Chains A and B, each alone.
With several copies, the nearest count.
Chain A
Amino acid sequence: MAFKLEELLICCLSRKLHKKRHIAIGAASPIPAGAAFMAREEANKGMHITLLASQKHNHFTDGSRELFDAAAQGRIDAFFLGGVQIDGQANINLIGTGEYPNTQRRFPGSFGSALMYYVVPSVFLFRLQHNRRSMVEAVDFISAPGFSPPEVYRPGGPVALITDKCLFAVDSEKQRFRLESLHPNVSLEEVIDLTGFAFDYEENPPTTETPTSSQLDLLRGTIAQEIAESYPLFAKQTFGI
């Protein structure tokens, strides 16, 4: 059964979320949202999903600080962070490129990354334009560091990086990425070529598990409807609804 890249990514991310109790998703993140809905449907009906962009799927009642407080308390199991740039040490840059503060290309800002990245046990990095401008050797500005020295309070951190080309796992010991799988029709050479940082890999990396037809049915049915409530434009483009 044919599928779109977005569908592959949702199913791929979803498998990582099966055991989570509470997943929080920031603004403009339809793929993580889809993955969370999918995981809840497939693996854990009791899972709690917070979409910060939604009113319906946001149950916080103590203002927006409650997300950060709840995360600091260890009550949020998984969160997702993008990055204008991501480097080989999993540092993320949400500020812009060039020398700060007079950045050449300025982006919105660091949002809550400088706490969330430290305290949420499973942070998934995502970046859908995998190229040497986004996957860099060293970010121009560290909005939040990938790893911290042992004296720094850090119960959380990165566990994976998903792009439009592949999935990286995080090796916390070595503090670097390890290629976990290549998306269909992507070669190892291509990923090496598009990636500005060094990473570990096997000679013949596996291919990212593709969605089954029952997964696609679920995704295009129930899940697409759930996604559409918060991300109508994405749902229209991806699922035609």
Chain B
Amino acid sequence: MSLHECSIQEIADEVQNGTLLGVPADYSGVPMAFVRELIRQGKSELDLFCLPQSTLQADMLIGAGCVRSVETAAVTLGEYGQAPCFTRFVQEGRLNVKDSTCPALHAALQATERAVPFSPLRGLIGSDLVKHRPDWQVISNPFSDQEDPVILIPAVSPDVTVIHAQKADKNGNVWIGRRKEVATLIHASKRNFVTVEEIVDTDFYEDEVLAAGVLPGFYIEAIAVAKDGAWPLALSDRYPIDEAHLKDYATRAKTEEGFATYLAENLAA
């Protein structure tokens, strides 16, 4: 196993227009430096697959016109209010939202993780979500002798997933801790890249305690160092969310003009 180091620009180069991009939840390490680079490179027609929801990553990409569709359980700035670009684009009919629910997003990736065509799921039947998802199917549970509808969620495989993490080791392994759903996202994606705060000169597997939180390097094509790479979002145990920045964003991004000046200021760096 070996480390392939690269730059954020090189990761963004690998994202073609039309890519299905895996998007991690905030607590999993959001690669915001990479997101800004995608916008700088003027990507378009990206399809986002969120596990299971997104905040600033989806909202900025939508606002910058990079996104064709987003499959998600929610896009929101959480305590900072509604996701302004997402809300505006949906209300103006400019964004295709494949509305889903958290466990269905997990189920779709878990199917790919095991290379099966679908995962069964409980719940959902009677929700209007199902009406608008012709890609989901309801079958009768073949193990029951009574009527028992079960929904099947088809497998989804993102073309590219990029996450941000605290650290990688000298052999390209990444420490992700207990937020294991990014492992599922990575397992299910065709290509994976990681940005990290730092690359350390050890091997995580030398310590079984550390090893329990490791994403093995063989899933990862290349790793780029991005100090403060989740900023202005938080990175668990490293730095908190930049509250002032988020408040400012939540206000300015409510209008096209405000978002444009926000972008201009924040892409320059």
Residues of A within 8 A of B (CB): 21-22, 27-28, 45-46, 48, 55-56, 59-65, 68-70, 72-75, 94-96, 100-119, 141-145, 148-149, 151-153, 233
Contact = CB atoms under 8 A, between A and B. Distances in A.
Contacts of B93: 102
Contacts of B121: 115
A134 to B, nearest CB: 16
B98 to A, nearest CB: 10
Contacts of A73: 112-113, 115, 187-188
Contacts of A55: 208, 236
Given A65-B102, A143-B128, 17 more contacts: A28-B78, A64-B52, A64-B106, A68-B106, A69-B113, A72-B116, A103-B91, A108-B74, A109-B72, A109-B73, A114-B101, A114-B124, A114-B127, A115-B121, A116-B123, A148-B125, A153-B150
7 contacts: A28-B79, A55-B236, A63-B178, A63-B182, A109-B74, A115-B124, A144-B123
B126 to A, nearest CB: 4
Given A60-B178, A61-B178, A141-B128, A68 B74 contact: no
Contacts of B219: 75
B139 interface: no
B112 A64 contact: no
Q: Give 8 closest A-B pairs by Cβ, nearest first.
A: A63-B181, A109-B74, A72-B115, A115-B123, A108-B76, A114-B101, A63-B180, A112-B102
Q: Which of B128, B208, B211 has the most CB of A within 10 A?
A: B128
A130 B110 CA distance: 40
Interface string B191-219: 00000000000000100100111111111
A70 to B, nearest CB: 7
Contacts of B215: 61
Contacts, number: 182
A56 B125 contact: no
A241 B71 CA distance: 40
Interface in B227-251: 236
B74 A72 contact: no
A151 B149 contact: yes
Contacts of B183: 61-63
Contacts of B181: 63-65
Interface string B119-147: 00111111111001000000000000011
A152 B125 contact: yes
Contacts of B102: 64-65, 68, 111-112, 115
Contacts of B74: 94, 108-111
A105 B87 CA distance: 8
A115 B103 contact: yes
B55 to A, nearest CB: 10
B212 A152 contact: no
Nearest to B181: A63
Interface string B52-64: 1100000000000
A205 to B, nearest CB: 31
Interface string B32-76: 000000000000000000001100000000000000000011111
A103 B82 CA distance: 15
Contact of A61 (B1, B115, B214): B214
Given A73-B112, A109-B76, A119-B122, A101 B149 contact: no
Contacts of A148: 125-126
Contacts of A45: 2
B148 interface: yes
Interface string B140-174: 00000011111000000000000000000000010
Contact of A110 (B79, B87, B101, B113): B101
Q: Which of B53, B99, B126 has the most CB of A within 10 A?
A: B126
Given A48-B1, A64-B181, A72-B115, A108 B83 contact: yes
A113 B101 CA distance: 7
B203 to A, nearest CB: 10
B260 to A, nearest CB: 21
Contacts of A27: 78
Contacts of A111: 52-53, 73-74, 101-102
Contacts of A117: 123
B202 to A, nearest CB: 15
Contacts of A94: 74
B146 A151 contact: yes
